[in-house]
Amino acid sequence: MKVRDVFKTALGNLTRHRARAALTTVGVVVGILTIVTMVSLGVGVQREMKDAFGSVGLETLRLYPETEQATELDPFGKPKRIKLLTPELVAALQAREDVIEATAFLQLPYGMNMTLSLEGQEVQADPWGPRPASIPEPFSVPARTLAGVEDPPPGGGGVVVSDSLLLQLGSQPKELADLIGHQIELVLHAPRGESQAFRVKIAGITEREWNTVALSSPDRLAMLQWWYNDPDYLAHRGYDEVVVRARSLNDAVQIVSWLSAEGYEVQSLKMLLDMANRGMIIVQTMLGSVGAVALLVASIGIANTMIMAVYERTKEIGILKAVGAAPGQIRLLFVVEASLIGLAGGVLGTLLGWLLGLGLNWLILEILRWQEMPMQGTFFVVSWWLVLAALAFATLVGLIAGLYPAARAARLAPLDALRYE
Amino acid sequence: MAIRAIRVARTFEVGETAVAALRGIDLEVARGQFMALVGPSGSGKSTFLNLVGGLDRPTEGELWVDGVELSASKEKVLTEHRRRRVGFVFQGFNLLPRLTALENVSVPLLFVGVPERERLDRAAELLNQVGLGDRLDHRPTQLSGGEQQRVAIARALIGRPTIILADEPTGNLDSATGGEIMALLRRLNRAQGVTLLLVTHDTEAASFADRIVRLRDGQVVGTGLAEQMP
């Protein structure tokens, strides 16, 4: 029997009961759709994470002060730090051979009320950061620099403000560049009613929809010293975070074990990535199980449809055997027919899975934009190997489901089949 | 010898009882002969026809068809036998209702790997021969009983068999149409030298044969030339 004839005959048989074939296909569609969506999400997110983390460098690690557990009595209180990130530690890290650089950061407290005044006008401002642009945040959209520098100068005295802030103060968009180097005052207002002005210059302007002021570490320190009324703030509280860039991934592992032994709280991006990957595997396994169950049910549906077809065509099988069809050829026709059901479900499921991925991707980005956490990225990636694997898998499910009915058809005794009405 | 049966028996298991359909038949059919098997219902004539056609195997005895012994043959040999050596014509026509006359006739060639073009050409030629050259694209439901049986005869011929096995071919037809079908079979037998084995209880149909064999209760009870039989 020619291959072309096998497919033509099987396809002809399949289209005899279009509605039944279509309904049988639905199960495969659901299964393949789930699996394609799941795998494309896994591939997409892992690629995004790898890109995002990779651009920062996996040899980067983050150091946080060890704190006491928050007590039940005061769950919102600031936990006491038992292991401080001191300037001495930063210096020690910077002195190490295997460290390229160690950068310390200070976080301003959330309740800190800050206004910015320029030529007598005042507007509310949010301290921005703490990270400079040279340490990118995964998934975040980098802000565009409109004028001046991207980051506040590390020595202090200069800030990078958002354009919306200046526009709110009455500046014209065209004049923004002229404001570089302009003196402004940042005023802190303590709850106890006192206030303190800090004189700084505008070093850069970025494009942002809300009022931000990016501050350098020395300026932050000065503000914290005033806020807590503690000239020795660093000695008492230490830094909030130290970012260490090791020379290599191996060095990073060495440094992590050294710092952990010293009692510091260390996070490396590799640890985060590994953790995220583990999370993804769990999600993938769950979705994969749903797809697998759907496909199992679908294969039972296909087997059922094919058994029905064998009953309906019993007499026809007898006729075909009488005119020279071999048992193997009858089996082949039924197996191919079942495989075609699987393949049809695979094609439709892959297509719908791809469309669903596009839709969900758009939806996720849209929701994040609404929540003012703009991100960019493709979280669903349907690659060629995924398409081919999905089609092959769907066909295989059909094929396996068709084996038993096909064997029954092949085994029918020609005489009994001919007499069947 | 086209067919040689030596003490051929066929017993069917019905539940726990064994029913003997054939009880040791000895029979020879010469090449090109037109032989009719007659007898009452249950005499075993259809059972014998099915054995010769390789649709079933004898439980005892030897059955030689065109030099091949069928009782001990594997399924593969029987399939080959049905493809190359025999062609069936049934009482109920047994055409595939979805297919046109042309496609029905060409179906046997599908399983031996003949390309579609050639299949359809040969089928058209045979339909012309049986007088249905203008009915190629009709489906069975659009054809009369006599026309359907002609399609079935064309289908039986397409594999160029040496033996045609006809099981009550006139059973579903009126006598005039039945006569036409018998005349057609007779003509094919004469013109192409095909051996023809006919099973019937229609004496008129049997009268077309060279030789008539009478069966009763699975045994041969009489044989002779058609004109000598009552």
The residue that leads in pLDDT, B130 or A276, is B130
Helix (H, G, I), strand (E, B) or coil at A89: helix
CA–CA separation, A393 vs A395, rounded Å?
5
- For residues A65-87, average pLDDT: 71
Across the interface, which of B79, B94, B116 has its CB nearest the CB of A324? B79
- For residues A257-264, average pLDDT: 82
Q: Which residues pair with A104 in a beta bridge?
A: A242
Q: How confident is the model at residue B227 (pLDDT cuts 50, 70, 90)?
A: low
- For residues A389-404, average pLDDT: 96
CB atoms A323 and B76 under 8 Å = no
Within a domain: residue B100?
Answer: yes
CA–CA separation, B173 vs B193, rounded Å?
26
ipTM above 0.90, yes or no: yes
Query: What value does the mean pLDDT of chain B take?
Result: 92
**Residue % of chain B over a pLDDT of 70:** 98
Taking the CA atoms of A369, A375, A378 and A379 in sequence, report the sign of the dihedral they define: negative
- For residues B188-192, average pLDDT: 92
Chain B environment of A320 (Cβ under 8 Å): 107, 111
Chain A environment of B55 (Cβ under 8 Å): 321-322, 414-415, 418
Least confident of A44-53, A285-294, B169-178, B184-193: A44-53
* Beta strand A265-268 pairing with A195-206: unpaired
Chain A interface includes B175 (CB < 8 A)? no
- For residues A382-411, average pLDDT: 95
CB atoms B55 and A323 under 8 Å = no
CB atoms < 10 A from the CB of A183, how many? 10
Domain residues for B176?
A: 31-56+72-228
CB atoms A324 and B75 under 8 Å = no
Q: Are B158 and B89 in contact (CB under 8 A)?
A: no
Go through chain B and tell me how many residues it has: 230
* Beta strand B34-38 pairing with B195-199: parallel
Q: Strand ranges (DSSP E) for A171-224?
A: 183-189, 195-206, 212-214
The number of domains in chain B is 1
Chain A interface includes B110 (CB < 8 A)? yes
What pLDDT does residue A169 have? 81
**Peptide bond preceding A191: is omega within 30 degrees of 0, i.e. cis?**
no
What pLDDT does residue A130 have? 55
Chain A interface includes B116 (CB < 8 A)? yes
What pLDDT does residue A150 have? 81
CA–CA separation, B24 vs B47, rounded Å?
12
Within a domain: residue B23?
Answer: no
Within a domain: residue B218?
Answer: yes
Chain B environment of A4 (Cβ under 8 Å): 116
DSSP letter string, B80-126: HHHHHTEEEE-TT----TTS-HHHHHHHHHHTTT--HHHHHHHHHHH
- Whole-prediction pTM: 0.71
For residue B166, give the amino acid letter: A
- For residues A280-286, average pLDDT: 81
- For residues B5-11, average pLDDT: 95
Q: Are A153 and A203 in contact (CB under 8 A)?
A: yes
Q: Are A99 and A244 in contact (CB under 8 A)?
A: yes
User: How far is the alpha carbon of B230 from chain A, nearest alpha carbon, in Å?
Assistant: 32
Quick: pLDDT tens for A84-117: 888 888 888 888 888 888 888 888 877 788 888 8
Go through chain A and tell me how many residues it has: 421
What pLDDT does residue B230 have? 52
Burial class from Cβ neighbours inside 10 Å (0-12, 13-18, 19+) for residue A97 reads: exposed
Chain B environment of A326 (Cβ under 8 Å): 75-76, 79, 111
Across the interface, which of A2, A319, A415 has its CB nearest the CB of B96? A319
Best residue in B50, B55, B116 to probe A by mutation, most A CBs within 10 Å? B55
Query: What value does the mean pLDDT of chain A take?
Result: 85
Return phi, psi of residue A59, to 5°. Answer: -85, 10
CB atoms < 10 A from the CB of A74, how many? 9
Q: For residue B93, which of B18, B10, B5, B168 has the smallest C-alpha distance?
A: B168
- For residues A123-148, average pLDDT: 68
Q: What's the CATH number where B192 sits?
A: 3.40.50.300
Q: Give every CB contact of residue A393 below 8 A, 6+ residues apart in sequence.
A: A32, A35, A346
CB atoms A322 and B88 under 8 Å = yes
The residue that leads in pLDDT, A163 or B79, is B79
Within a domain: residue B110?
Answer: yes
Chain A interface includes B108 (CB < 8 A)? yes
What pLDDT does residue A408 have? 96
CA–CA separation, A11 vs A337, rounded Å?
7
Query: Structure tokens of B113?
Result: 């790997």
- For residues B196-204, average pLDDT: 92
Within a domain: residue B63?
Answer: no
Q: How confident is the model at residue A138 (pLDDT cuts 50, 70, 90)?
A: low
* Beta strand A183-189 pairing with A212-214: unpaired
User: How far is the alpha carbon of B225 from chain A, nearest alpha carbon, in Å?
Assistant: 30
Residue A136 pLDDT > 60: no
Chain B interface includes A355 (CB < 8 A)? no
Partner B, chain A 306-345, Cβ-Cβ below 8 Å: 315-316, 318-327, 329
Partner B, chain A 396-415, Cβ-Cβ below 8 Å: 413-415
Chain B environment of A315 (Cβ under 8 Å): 94
Best residue in B74, B94, B120 to probe A by mutation, most A CBs within 10 Å? B94
Residue A135 pLDDT > 60: no
Least confident of A265-274, B17-26, B109-118, B140-149: A265-274
Quick: pLDDT tens for A156-183: 888 888 888 888 888 787 888 888 888 8
Closest CA in chain A for residue B56:
A415
What pLDDT does residue A88 have? 86
**Residue % of chain A over a pLDDT of 90:** 29
Query: What are the sequence ranges of the domains in chain A?
Result: 3-54+274-419, 66-267
Within a domain: residue B145?
Answer: yes
Residue A7 pLDDT > 60: yes
Chain A interface includes B192 (CB < 8 A)? no
What pLDDT does residue A76 have? 56
Q: How confident is the model at residue A241 (pLDDT cuts 50, 70, 90)?
A: confident
Q: Which residues pair with A161 in a beta bridge?
A: A205, A213
CB atoms A322 and B53 under 8 Å = yes
What pLDDT does residue A176 have? 80
Q: For residue B56, which of A414, A364, A295, A316 has the smallest C-alpha distance?
A: A414
Q: Give every CB contact of residue A241 below 8 A, 6+ residues apart in sequence.
A: A62, A63, A64, A85, A104, A105, A107, A130
Tally C-beta pairs within 8 A across A and B.
61
